[in-house]
């Protein structure tokens, strides 16, 4: 891999964020920052320019994760991955996010998802169907050619 | 039998007219052959009901009783019946002389002469305002009840989502705590114990994720759970070839967690005793329905049962036996060919 994926963690539960930081490093990625609320999430996304932001729906300032995710996704070119227990509350277009991992997730599922997304970003195409536990949005399914993959199988 | 009403009575020329005058049912007769059907007769009950004097109504068409909220459709039905010379029966909103509205249950019938020509229409009116009000109140109450029920359902759904969300977050927190402590632990035995607890909590978490993903909150799909569970396990042990042979089997949601824990222990047991690390091995999980039972088999291709024919009863095996009891299931370990076949057999419901 050319360079490790830089990751911004947006999560108001500090213990989860710390553990997620370990998983990010174990997946060969690089944690660049951690935001507890939507305002600092958007700000950190602008200043740190991460490759990917892992965003919870419920943040320290309320259920603001969806709006923050949309701003980040439409902004600096970071892709957003939701990590939430609230999968049903997400809008149909996933607010521009590439996908979602439902809580409670397993550490393996997160590592697999990050490794997979790193490949997708590096190659601009998916190496295969998404691993168990990761659901991709329609937009990224077609962006990374996962729909073509499915047809080829 | 002959009509006896025509027998003479003192002071009464026409007994029919006397009876119609005296009845408490409001009545009116209109001339069917004169232009615009003028009223030619009303009884006293009609005058009491409408509040008009007799000289104010004779010669007029009945429509003067209608007002702003009278239903035009009902009036059209009435006109059509009159045009076609038919009887009619309808509820019409009318207005008294003082402007007060009342519900008039109107019945009209044509009256024919000897040649069959309609000469009159006779109408009788009953004030049904009280009945209409009761009906409206009943309807309003029913609508209110429906609204309340709908609100209660919406509240319940919202509450369920909130609880679901909190449970998931708490499970995530418990998982993360276990993983964090595992990372900090140097001692192998402690680390193994923490890992086992983590895998148990993860099994429960997998159940919970599945329970609320499905539309049916009462049933739990065992095959999908096992696929999820093994999806997580397999990536940790690449050298093990996992083979799933799963029939679709639904159990009651209340049994989901104990069954998931039991299956998790059996898989864990197979990995520990049957599938030595770094040795290629094969793990097979089968789920099928057999003679009123659900049979779940976890098979490895390892060294087989110990000489004694039983495993040492460790903590994992102890809780598996307890869970089997709770599920009213039987648990057996049989020699495979090679390896061990763990068989969990629980009664199927329905």
- Residue B213 has what pLDDT? 66
Q: Does A59 touch chain B (CB under 8 A)?
A: no
| CA-to-CA dists, residue B76 to B31, B70, B96, angstroms | 19, 11, 21
Query: Chain B residues with CB inside 8 Å of A132's CB?
Result: 227-228, 231-232
Q: Is residue A150 predicted with pLDDT exceeding 70?
A: no
- Residue B5 has what pLDDT? 65
| CA-to-CA dists, residue B256 to B9, B207, B219, B252, B292, angstroms | 91, 7, 8, 7, 18
CATH number of B218-350: 3.30.565.10
- What are B20-76's pLDDT values in tens digits? 888 889 999 999 999 999 999 999 999 999 999 999 999 999 999 999 999 999 999
- Domain layout of chain B by residue ranges: 3-127, 139-217, 218-350
Q: Does A14 touch chain B (CB under 8 A)?
A: no
Contact status, residue A131 vs residue A110, Cβ threshold 8 Å: no
User: If pLDDT is split at 50, 70 and 90, which confidence band does B165 have?
Assistant: confident
Phi, psi angle pair for B234, to nearest 5°: -60, -35
Q: Is residue A76 predicted with pLDDT exceeding 80?
A: no
- What are B179-207's pLDDT values in tens digits? 999 999 999 999 989 989 999 999 998 88
Architecture of the domain delimited by B3-127:
2-Layer Sandwich (3.30)
Nearest residue on chain A to B212, alpha-carbon basis: A88
- What are A24-56's pLDDT values in tens digits? 999 999 999 999 999 999 999 999 999 999 999
- Residue A17 has what pLDDT? 94
Q: For A145-149, B165-169, B285-289, B327-331, which range has the lowest pLDDT when averaged over its residues?
A: A145-149
Q: What is the mean pLDDT of residues B163-174?
A: 90
Gap between the terminal Cα atoms of chain A: 27
Q: Is residue B155 predicted with pLDDT exceeding 60?
A: yes
Q: Is residue B307 predicted with pLDDT exceeding 80?
A: no
- Domain layout of chain A by residue ranges: 6-150
pTM: 0.69
- Residue B305 has what pLDDT? 80
CB contact under 8 A, B165 and A86: yes
What span, in angstroms and rounded, lies between the C-alpha atoms of B24 and B46? 9
The continuous run of DSSP H or E covering B231 comes out as: helix B222-234
User: If pLDDT is split at 50, 70 and 90, which confidence band does B162 have?
Assistant: confident
Residue from the list A13, A22, A102 with its beta carbon closest to the beta carbon of B183? A22
Query: Chain A residues with CB inside 8 Å of B235's CB?
Result: 108, 112, 131
Question: And the tokens for B219?
Answer: 């049933």
The continuous run of DSSP H or E covering B163 comes out as: helix B129-184
Q: In what order do the strands lie in the sheet with B88-95?
A: B39-42, B26-31, B118-127, B101-112, B88-95
CB contact under 8 A, A103 and B168: yes
Residue from the list A19, A104, A133 with its beta carbon closest to the beta carbon of B171? A104
Contact status, residue B246 vs residue B287, Cβ threshold 8 Å: yes
The three-state (H, E, C) secondary structure of A128-151, written as one string: CCCCCCEEECHHHHHHCCHHHHHH
CB contact under 8 A, A108 and B235: yes
- What are B77-132's pLDDT values in tens digits? 999 999 999 999 999 999 999 999 999 999 999 999 999 999 999 999 999 999 99
- Residue B33 has what pLDDT? 92
ipTM: 0.82
- Residue B247 has what pLDDT? 92
Total CB pairs under 8 A between chain A and B: 68
Q: Is residue B214 predicted with pLDDT exceeding 70?
A: no
- Domain B3-127 identical in fold to domain B218-350: no
Q: What is the mean pLDDT of residues A67-73?
A: 94
Between positions 96 and 125 of A, the ones with CB within 8 A of B are 102-109, 112
Q: Is residue B350 predicted with pLDDT exceeding 60?
A: no
CATH topology of domain A6-150: Rossmann fold (3.40.50)
- Enumerate the β-bridge partners of residue B252: B219
Q: What mean pLDDT is reported for chain B?
A: 88
Q: Does A60 touch chain B (CB under 8 A)?
A: no
Considering only CA atoms, which of A46, A42, A47 is closest in space to residue A55? A42
- Residue B8 has what pLDDT? 65
- Residue B201 has what pLDDT? 93
Phi-psi region of A77 (alpha: psi -120 to 50; beta: other; left: phi over 0): left
Nearest residue on chain A to B179, alpha-carbon basis: A19
CB contact under 8 A, A107 and B179: yes
């Amino acid at each position: 891999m050319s360079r490790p994926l830089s990751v911004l963690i947006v999560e108001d539960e500090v213990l989860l964020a710390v553990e997620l930081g370990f998983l990010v490093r174990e997946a060969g990625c690089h944690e660049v920052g951690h935001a507890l609320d939507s305002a600092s999430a958007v700000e950190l996304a602008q200043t740190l320019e991460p490759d990917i932001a892992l965003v919870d729906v419920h943040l320290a300032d309320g259920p603001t994760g969806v709006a923050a995710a949309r701003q980040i996704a439409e902004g600096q070119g970071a892709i957003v991955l939701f990590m939430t227990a609230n999968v049903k509350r997400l809008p149909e277009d996933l607010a521009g996010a590439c996908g979602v991992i439902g809580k409670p997730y397993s550490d393996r599922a997160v590592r697999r998802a990050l490794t997979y997304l790193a490949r997708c970003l590096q190659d601009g195409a998916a190496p295969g169907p998404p691993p168990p536990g990761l659901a991709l949005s329609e937009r990224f399914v077609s962006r990374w050619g996962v729909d073509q993959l499915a047809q080829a199988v | 039998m002959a009509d006896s009403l025509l027998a003479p009575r003192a002071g009464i020329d026409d007994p029919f007219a006397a009876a119609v005058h005296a009845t408490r049912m409001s009545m009116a007769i209109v001339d069917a052959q004169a232009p615009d059907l003028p009223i030619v007769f009303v009884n006293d009950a009609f005058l009491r009901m409408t509040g008009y004097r007799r000289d104010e109504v004779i010669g007029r068409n009945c429509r003067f009783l209608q007002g702003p909220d009278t239903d035009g459709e009902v009036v059209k039905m009435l006109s059509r019946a009159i045009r076609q010379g038919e009887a009619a029966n309808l509820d019409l909103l009318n207005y008294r002389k003082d402007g007060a509205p009342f519900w008039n249950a109107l019945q009209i019938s044509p009256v024919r002469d000897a040649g069959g020509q309609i000469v009159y229409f006779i109408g009788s009116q009953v004030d049904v305002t009280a009945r209409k009000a009761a009906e409206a109140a009943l309807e309003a109450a029913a609508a209110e009840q429906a609204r309340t029920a709908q609100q209660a359902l919406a509240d319940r759904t919202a509450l369920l989502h909130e609880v679901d969300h909190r449970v998931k977050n708490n499970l995530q927190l418990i998982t993360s705590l276990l993983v964090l402590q595992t990372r900090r632990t140097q001692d192998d035995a402690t680390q193994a114990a923490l890992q086992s607890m983590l895998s148990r909590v993860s099994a429960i978490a997998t159940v919970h994720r599945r329970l609320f993903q499905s539309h049916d909150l009462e049933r739990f799909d065992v095959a999908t759970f096992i696929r999820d569970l093994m999806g997580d396990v397999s990536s940790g042990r690449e050298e093990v070839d996992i083979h799933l042979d799963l029939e679709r089997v639904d159990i009651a949601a209340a049994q989901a967690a104990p069954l998931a824990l039991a299956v998790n222990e059996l898989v864990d047991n197979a990995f520990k005793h049957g599938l030595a690390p770094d040795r290629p091995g094969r793990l097979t999980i089968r789920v099928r329905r057999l003679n009123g039972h659900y049979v779940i088999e976890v098979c490895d291709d390892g060294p087989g049962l110990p000489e004694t024919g039983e495993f040492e009863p460790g903590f994992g095996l102890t809780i598996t036996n307890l869970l089997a009891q709770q599920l009213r299931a039987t648990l057996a370990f049989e020699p495979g060919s090679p390896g061990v076949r763990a068989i969990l057999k629980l009664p199927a419901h329905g």
